[in-house]
Amino acid sequence: MSRQVDMALMSAHEYRRRLAEPKTVLLLPVGAMEQHGAHLPIGTDWMMAQFIARRVAARIDGIVAAPITYAAKSGVRTGGGNFQSGTTSLDGITLITMVKDIVKELVRHGARRLTIIDGHFENRFFLDEACDLAMRELRMDGIDDARVLKMVYAAEFPNPLIDAVYTDHEFPGLDLEHGGLLETSMMLYCYPEFVQMERLGNESAARFPPYDLFPPRTEWVPASGVLSSGLSATPEKGRLLVECFVNQVADAINAEF
Amino acid sequence: MSRQVDMALMSAHEYRRRLAEPKTVLLLPVGAMEQHGAHLPIGTDWMMAQFIARRVAARIDGIVAAPITYAAKSGVRTGGGNFQSGTTSLDGITLITMVKDIVKELVRHGARRLTIIDGHFENRFFLDEACDLAMRELRMDGIDDARVLKMVYAAEFPNPLIDAVYTDHEFPGLDLEHGGLLETSMMLYCYPEFVQMERLGNESAARFPPYDLFPPRTEWVPASGVLSSGLSATPEKGRLLVECFVNQVADAINAEF
Amino acid sequence: MSRQVDMALMSAHEYRRRLAEPKTVLLLPVGAMEQHGAHLPIGTDWMMAQFIARRVAARIDGIVAAPITYAAKSGVRTGGGNFQSGTTSLDGITLITMVKDIVKELVRHGARRLTIIDGHFENRFFLDEACDLAMRELRMDGIDDARVLKMVYAAEFPNPLIDAVYTDHEFPGLDLEHGGLLETSMMLYCYPEFVQMERLGNESAARFPPYDLFPPRTEWVPASGVLSSGLSATPEKGRLLVECFVNQVADAINAEF
Amino acid sequence: MSRQVDMALMSAHEYRRRLAEPKTVLLLPVGAMEQHGAHLPIGTDWMMAQFIARRVAARIDGIVAAPITYAAKSGVRTGGGNFQSGTTSLDGITLITMVKDIVKELVRHGARRLTIIDGHFENRFFLDEACDLAMRELRMDGIDDARVLKMVYAAEFPNPLIDAVYTDHEFPGLDLEHGGLLETSMMLYCYPEFVQMERLGNESAARFPPYDLFPPRTEWVPASGVLSSGLSATPEKGRLLVECFVNQVADAINAEF
Amino acid sequence: MSRQVDMALMSAHEYRRRLAEPKTVLLLPVGAMEQHGAHLPIGTDWMMAQFIARRVAARIDGIVAAPITYAAKSGVRTGGGNFQSGTTSLDGITLITMVKDIVKELVRHGARRLTIIDGHFENRFFLDEACDLAMRELRMDGIDDARVLKMVYAAEFPNPLIDAVYTDHEFPGLDLEHGGLLETSMMLYCYPEFVQMERLGNESAARFPPYDLFPPRTEWVPASGVLSSGLSATPEKGRLLVECFVNQVADAINAEF
Amino acid sequence: MSRQVDMALMSAHEYRRRLAEPKTVLLLPVGAMEQHGAHLPIGTDWMMAQFIARRVAARIDGIVAAPITYAAKSGVRTGGGNFQSGTTSLDGITLITMVKDIVKELVRHGARRLTIIDGHFENRFFLDEACDLAMRELRMDGIDDARVLKMVYAAEFPNPLIDAVYTDHEFPGLDLEHGGLLETSMMLYCYPEFVQMERLGNESAARFPPYDLFPPRTEWVPASGVLSSGLSATPEKGRLLVECFVNQVADAINAEF
């Protein structure tokens, strides 16, 4: 369980040995560099995706590739908008191409069981497109037995978990869980040294109309950059969330690979 | 009210006169060419987006640009997957660039109030990206007063509407409303001549795991290609849906422009 | 003969049955959104390409894919120039990629006999490039038996037809037949409800120097946007033209497929 | 008149002095690497464009940039097709981007009067697109006073010239003038050392149907690769042609710049 | 000195405060995921670039952006070649575009003093291109006061340093310092827990002909993947190297910003 | 030995015969359009690459493709910077794609032994990338037996040669050999008619800091544009250099093909 799981930190010789073992799964965390209010770090999305990927890898003896840190632009209604300072994003076309390149390289190494763990909602269709293109180009190059499982880490939210976490206010929906109770609790559990609870104000959940504007109306977004309240966050709630999501990812991998 | 609303069907001279009127809104419907089971036409997504755009345009004296018919790939869990025959999609990069080009051209004509009506869920982030890039390039070209409002036509679903429509089974969620009760009712109301109710079997809602696979598992998708049941569809339910969505779009436009 | 020919209007199940029949030809009309003076609609180019494709399809039991409406930029000397309001074009690179994507998708469905009907002169080399790239990528993907026949609908102009149509003035050459006698007659025959003959002035054929300028000299183009006179247009002349072109396309298909 | 006209052969210091003179015109020849039968060199298209550009430059004290040698794919019906060995072409997207880059660089140097001389028919719309994009990007970069005149060198063919050249057979149309009487005569006049008249057979003009096929039918093209007969070519005919075309280009430049 | 320097680990609010201070420098480390033999981790290049960037940032009160980990393909003669398992690279075009996007985003935040620290030789011209394009696009967007200083961290190698480090064999040149004495010593000093000296064999420096082959001759590269010997590496040598390079970068920043 | 070696100047029929001979090598010279001071022509880089390629081809009975004249941007510290008038460069992405296209076309003709001779330092990684992509795409298209040897013509500089050439000052390193003793001597030997020694001032070698700035500091570059002194250049030194480099290229070809 204490084996190194990070591909970047192991030697290529070790990596090859690990990849040659039967059924080794290679996990690729994807997040974002995105403002998460005054209390959470800019790297929150990829840090959480990486944390969960490492936990899963430790359990299934997998390998975690270096996380994709710069990724899709932040949506106004799901991340505060890409006009925010600190939010550092790629054009969608760049992201598609970058993820495609990386998936193809990992498959070239011999990986056939890839799992992408996504921690940034706005990556969704760009990751799908990247995977589709990678499969197409690999097929053109004679490789048709590689498979990618792509999963948002908070894909499913069982009711008991919601009840245990949302003790002080209602679950605002995942779209508004940007810097809110879910992420704050998880970060308190995983990376407490980078959470500044004292900077967290009392925010009610943001309210948005059911459409997007370009250029965005910046005044739609609360000054904090946070879309719902993380005030009742605790490390224990974070533990429950992380364990649930780790189980979900591990179950998916076991079901498919 | 009986004025021509379709840009493609009016002369450029007429178009210029209309665009020169105060506050003219230009609507761009976006859909897909995507299988919708045995009972709905392949063009369902863009046909519905166009229908709603025309209704809105008639009400607000707007103009409807030619619909974007070929668009984003179909997701397995939201449209049956892009491996289906009949589903005819663009690569994501192509879609982004095409929509960007069209938006910039419409702004070059003088349009400053654009509204994109989306009828295909998978277009979402590609449209956002296209709008973001168009705004950026227009700004570089000295134009900073154009605005785009982008809205999925079924953005919000009020409870009374759900109650009135889902009389025989529960609302399965929008993801599964592919060829289901919502689209079938709307098509029965808008384009009854292209709906073949007699070909509609008794399908229960599809069930998918909370992740995507590349290449897709084709066996996940029901043979019909439909993700939930449209058996209880009626033109009257379609009318309720269409009127609700037309109101929502018109309200959004009135609020912003 | 009264079978539905439009792919967008048939169900995917029907489409598959039709495509599985021996020697089914799939036709893809390509046009433009381009100003055509005060009397013809902006969609003229794709509307005519679609009309001819439908006629051909009805005759040979083929299928007509959704038309490509937004396409190549308008040339000053052949369409009035891309600075005109109403003319709505794609960058050349976008057009190449879009048509390539669509051709590849149709082949993925099983289509092996494709026919592109082009109604906009400026599309020419972009369509050629798109077809060349599609064939290359399909070949890389293991498919080498698909074929595309690409034809401008007014490819050949037999002298008796010219004599029958150009009763009042000389044939000005196809380059100047932008909004002129040919297109006006055809539209009068095919879509009379969208032609406004009363808005047609008495224009002599435009005269251009034998070169192009960038940026264009807008004063080269008549204010009407029309490059030659359509005053003597009649539905009967349109019928002669349409029937000739339908025959030419059908003959080409019969010769090759 | 004997000043160096080739930009590649002058020093940058000399180039800057020349460009700083009032109204200096910079000419960019564009051709192709394309088979031209057994008797003409592969470089024929760019060699002729360069020859004419040099003559014009000598007359108007202009500068000739290094020719674009690799360019658009050869059409079956206009150049024998891109399946031929020896024909060495760029993808259309590459060509657009390359010409755009070069035009922008020349404008960066201070050139404001550019003239593109095209010697390869298939370049047409790709050059137009490149110029359009270059103008757009320069405008975004604050430069709006650069102009490009683009001209095919055989843009107009006066009847007396046709009569003087086509003494033994009818003018087959420019499309079939691939390796035929026009190019052979011009090459005999300009570069006699690279013409091998003894390898020229007695070819009648090729006949093609009015459409294109992808992949091409290679059997449509004569084995020689030549589309009409150059047997009656003479250096004197070449001189007449060259002088006519040089005059046309010079006249265009004088009219516009 | 103990302030957080990592942008990813600070909140966006903190980041904005820091960026608003006078003359704040933003450092962007760029490396690679590249095999470095049996004894060094795959992430060596970006880990070292990040380490040096952090040291510099601590000294000048700068901020270190998240490192670019996936980058340019490995050259055979400088990194063992891109056919190696573990080496995970982007296409050059992807890399250019990604770095361009990130630089533009950081400038959007207000950063005007950027410093790219490169730890992977093959990135060189792609980074230059990215910076050139970013400056161009920012200029088009009205921003002309941002500056980027780009530096390979081992840009200069003073003789006393070479003498102190190369005690047992001659300096083989930077090209061959792949997994050799320089990198091994630095990693021993910076990240000793990820260095496995016991896996390091006795390698003489690789010898390559003065050209490249495509596809590469894999037999040119030693089985270890290392191009020269790191056997005499010590943490103390690493300290000397790191301090020298940190000084060089800091001096450059002080000279320019 | 007096056979035509230039592909552009031979007919396609001759080219095919030559390519069909056993072991024919096809050489592709790549250079730049780049200022080289007051005494050397802008085309120096591609002219020298072409000269050497022709010499090699004459010796080994090879073929020289048309040179790539427009290529990578000029680096400040290696070519005076891309802000110079006269320097005419492609974006890196354009260059990669163009060279990829050309290599693929030459292989389509049947060439299996390609040699790229590079005369412009900044092309390096773009050429590598182009070759890598060409090999990949050819492989996808079923061709895996083509090989490209890529070599900078001044790849190795034996000490006796340095001693014979640098009689009056020390070898400044290849980076500073821009318009200096090496290139001036070679041009005096190969193209004396285009060298203006009388315009050459007494320049000491430029000195640059070990980093790059974007946008560049133009004042770093000497006003002449030359980075080291060519005053002691002679045709005889040029002969020694050319013969050495021709031998190196020929030796490489003999070793590999």
Query: Among C238-247, D181-190, E168-177, which is the least confidently predicted range?
Result: E168-177
Is A39 catalytic? The answer is: no
Q: Residue D1: its pLDDT value, please?
A: 44
* Residue of F122, F125, F143 for testing the chain E interface, max E β-carbons within 10 Å: F125
pLDDT tier at F155 (50, 70, 90 boundaries)? Answer: confident
Measured between beta carbons, the chain C residues lying within 8 angstroms of B98 are 70, 90, 94, 98
Is the ipTM here above 0.95?
Answer: yes
**For B210-224, how does the pLDDT look when each residue is reduced to its tens digit (9 = 90+)?**
999 999 999 999 999
Note the pTM of the prediction, 2 decimals: 0.98
Query: Which range among C249-253, D93-97, D155-159, E3-7 shows the weakest confidence by mean pLDDT?
Result: D155-159
Topology adopted by domain E7-256: Rossmann fold (3.40.50)
User: How many angstroms separate the CA atoms of A51 and A191, rounded?
Assistant: 9
To test the contact with chain D by mutation, choose from B101, B104, B140, B143 the residue with the greatest count of D C-beta atoms within 10 A, namely B140
* Residue B155: per-residue pLDDT: 84
Indicate yes or no: CB of B105 within 8 angstroms of CB of C86: no
**Assigned token pair, B169:** 């089974």
Q: Which 3-state string (H, E, C) describes chain E?
A: CCCCCEHHHCEHHHHHHHHHCCCCCEEEEECCECCECCCEECCHHHHHHHHHHHHHHHHHCCEECCCECCECCCCHHHHCCCCCCCCEECCHHHHHHHHHHHHHHHHHCCCCEEEEEECCHHHHHHHHHHHHHHHHHHHHCCCCCCEEEEEECCCCCCHHHHHHHCCCCCCCCHHHCCCCHHHHHHHHHHCHHHCCHHHCCCCCCCCCCCCEEECCCHHHCCCCCCCCCCCCCCHHHHHHHHHHHHHHHHHHHHHHC
Q: Measure CB to CB from residue B90 to each of C7, C98, C194 and give the nearest one.
A: C98
User: Which of the residues B118, B122, B177, B203 is marked catalytic?
Assistant: B122
Do residues D114 and D127 touch, judged by C-beta distance below 8 A? Answer: no
- Banded pLDDT at F2 (limits 50, 70, 90): low
D251, pLDDT greater than 70? yes
List, edge to edge, every strand of the sheet that includes A63-64. Answer: A63-64, A26-30, A113-118, A147-152, B212-214
Chains E and C: 3 or more CB pairs within 8 Å of each other:
no
- Chain A residues with CB under 8 Å of a chain C CB are 136, 139-140
For residue A132, the distance in angstroms to the closest alpha carbon of chain C comes to 14
| Structure confidence at residue B1 (pLDDT) | 44
Beta-strand runs (E) in F70-177: 113-118, 147-152
In chain E, what residues touch D140 (CB-CB under 8 Å)? 140
Distance (Å) from the C-alpha of residue A144 to the closest C-alpha of chain E? 19
Tell me if D136 and B140 make a contact (CB, 8 A cut-off): no
DSSP H stretches of helix in C80-158: 92-109, 124-140
pLDDT of A1 higher than 50: no
Q: What is the mean pLDDT of chain F?
A: 96
Mean residue pLDDT of chain E comes to 96
* Binary contact (C210, D155; C-beta < 8 A): yes
B120 is catalytic: yes
CB < 8 Å to C140, chain F: 137, 140-141
The answer to whether residue F195 scores a pLDDT higher than 90 is yes
Q: Mean pLDDT across the stretch A250-257?
A: 97
pLDDT tens digits for range A96-117: 999 999 999 999 999 999 999 9
Residues of C within 8 A of F137 (CB-CB) are 140
C and B touch per CB criterion (3+ pairs under 8 A) = yes
Residues whose CB is less than 8 angstroms from the CB of residue B233 and which lie 6 or more positions away in sequence, other chains included: B181, B184, B185, B188, B197
How many angstroms separate the CA atoms of F116 and F136, rounded? 17
Q: For residue C192, how many C-alpha atoms fall within 13 Å in the half-sphere facing its CB?
A: 9
Question: Which stretches within chain C are classed as H helix?
Answer: 12-20, 44-60, 76-79, 92-109, 124-140, 159-165, 181-190, 235-256
pLDDT attached to residue A2: 67
Question: Residue D177: what pLDDT?
Answer: 93
Question: D93 contacts in B (CB within 8 Å)?
Answer: none
Q: Is residue E105 flagged as an active site residue?
A: no
Least confident piece of the model among B109-123, C167-181, D182-196, F120-134: C167-181
Contact between chain D and chain A (3 or more Cβ pairs less than 8 Å apart):
no
Share of chain D above pLDDT 70, in %: 99
**Closest Cα of chain D to B125: distance in Å?**
26
**pLDDT in the model for residue C2:** 67
Residue C9 sits at the vertex; the CA angle it makes with C6 and C12, to the nearest 5 degrees, is: 100
Cα(C14)–Cα(A20) distance, rounded to whole angstroms?
A: 47
Residues 6+ positions from F110 with CB-CB distance below 8 Å: D85, F16, F19, F20
Instruction: Give the pLDDT score at F229.
Output: 93
CA distance E109 to B124: 26
- For residue C1, the model assigns a pLDDT of 44
pLDDT band at B2 (very low <50, low <70, confident <90, very high): low
Q: How many percent of chain B have pLDDT more than 90? A: 94
Measured from the Cβ of residue E243, the count of other Cβ atoms closer than 10 Å reads 14
- pLDDT tens profile D154-165: 988 899 999 999
Residue E1: pLDDT band with limits 50, 70, 90: very low
- Chain position carrying tokens 């030997």: F189
Residues of B in contact with A148 (CB under 8 A): 213-214
Q: What is the per-residue pLDDT for F10?
A: 98
pLDDT in tens, B106-150: 999 999 999 999 999 999 999 999 999 999 999 999 999 999 999
CA of E141, closest CA in chain B: separation in Å?
5
Q: Is E168 exposed, middle or buried (0-12, 13-18, 19+ CB in 10 A)?
A: exposed
In a mutagenesis test of the B interface, which of A115, A135, A212 is the best target, namely the one with the most B β-carbons within 10 Å? Answer: A212
The shortest C-alpha distance from B140 to chain E (Å) reads: 5
Give the rounded percent of residues in chain A with a pLDDT score beyond 70: 99
For residue C240, what are its two tokens?
A: 């002669």
Pairwise CB contact (< 8 Å): B129 & A209? no
Task: List active site positions of D.
Answer: 34, 36, 45, 120, 122, 178, 183
Catalytically annotated residues of C: 34, 36, 45, 120, 122, 178, 183
Of B39, B118, B177, B178, which one is the catalytic site residue? B178
Question: Chain C closest CA to B249's CA: distance in Å?
Answer: 24
pLDDT in tens, A49-101: 999 999 999 999 999 999 999 999 999 999 999 999 999 999 999 999 999 99
User: Strands across the sheet with B147-152, in order?
Assistant: A212-214, B147-152, B113-118, B26-30, B63-64
Contacts of F129 (CB under 8 A, 6+ apart): E73, E91, E92, E93, F96
Tell me the residue ranges of DSSP E strands in chain B.
Answer: 26-30, 63-64, 113-118, 147-152, 212-214
Chain C: partners with 3+ C-beta pairs within 8 Å: A, B, D, F
Average pLDDT over residues A187-215: 95
Q: What is the pLDDT of residue F1?
A: 44
pLDDT at D202 over 90: no
For residues D96-115, give the mean pLDDT.
98
Check B43 against C9: CB less than 8 A apart: yes
Q: Mean pLDDT over all residues of chain B?
A: 96
In contact, E61 and A30? CB cutoff 8 Å:
no
CB contact under 8 A, A147 and B256: no
Nearest chain B residue to A148 by CA distance is: B214
Residue C70 has pLDDT above 60, yes or no: yes
Report d(CA B63, CA C157) in Å as an integer: 37
Q: List residues bridging with E88 in a β-sheet.
A: E33
